[in-house]
Amino acid sequence: MAHRGFDAGDTGLENSMPAFQAAVDLGYRYVETDVHATRDGVVVAFHDETLDRVTDRRGAIPELSWREVSRARIAGSEPVPRLEDLLGSFPEVRVNIDIKTPGAIVPLVQVIERTQAHSRVCVTSFSDQRRDAAVMRLTRPVATSAGQRSTASFRAAATLPPLIRATVAARALRAVDALQVPPHHHGLEVVTPTTLDAAHEIGKLVHVWTINEAAEMERLLDLGVDGIMTDRADVLKDVLTRRGQWVA
């Protein structure tokens, strides 16, 4: 999965239309993005709450109008994309959407409903509450992944004896389809054979972020992860191609 698209030249164009186009040009069918809503309810594909780090403008997106945000240029050259433009420009692409703030919940639901994109989005958030608030407002099911609370509950369940592990793990992840986690957290290994087995035995997918080194990609694929998010879409494609696992 192409994390914030693919910036081939490392030019700071994350979450820009050229970055998403570059991922699609490589053959990717899955991209990841983040969403915020402007003061007037326009949903933008953008990671930070403020424009400051990656654009030539300053200010918090929830406090700015779309007109103001639209004047910003990522890396000084590309406009901030609306989520609706991303979905409309790449109708065959599936989009993993991380809800960054509570104010983006209702506007995101409106975009998904308006574009009828239910079957090609995965709605997620570090906050299970934010994710659930969006999902409950949608008229059709969407794919989902676990937030911090349900992930912590699952990790605890995965350490239980096998006879009760599946029941408790299924309860922890009952509201979602996937687990999206880093390989390590606070010095502890998150993605292990035990956690993978616990997820897979209850039918949940495991995606790992954000992996940019080929050797680590190989290690995780050997363990049996179901997906990898990466800034280096070119490297991941090469790894998957060598393994005979690349599907364009």
Query: Which positions are annotated as active-site residues?
Result: 3, 47
What is the model's pTM? 0.96
Q: Provide the residue ranges of all domains of the chain, joining segments of one domain with +.
A: 1-144, 145-248
Q: Which CATH topology does 1-144 take?
A: TIM Barrel (3.20.20)
Write out the CATH class of domain 145-248.
Answer: alpha beta
pLDDT, residue 181, reads 98
pLDDT, residue 9, reads 84
pLDDT, residue 8, reads 85
Residues of the chain with pLDDT under 50: none
pLDDT, residue 144, reads 99
pLDDT, residue 171, reads 98
pLDDT, residue 156, reads 96
Query: What's the DSSP call for residue 81?
Result: P
Residues 107 and 206: their CA atoms lie apart, in Å, by 28
DSSP letters for 25-65: HHT--EEEEEEEE-TTS-EEE-SSSBSTTTBSS-SBGGGS-
**Intrachain domains 1-144 and 145-248 with the same fold:** yes
pLDDT in tens, 76-108: 999 999 999 999 999 999 999 999 999 999 999
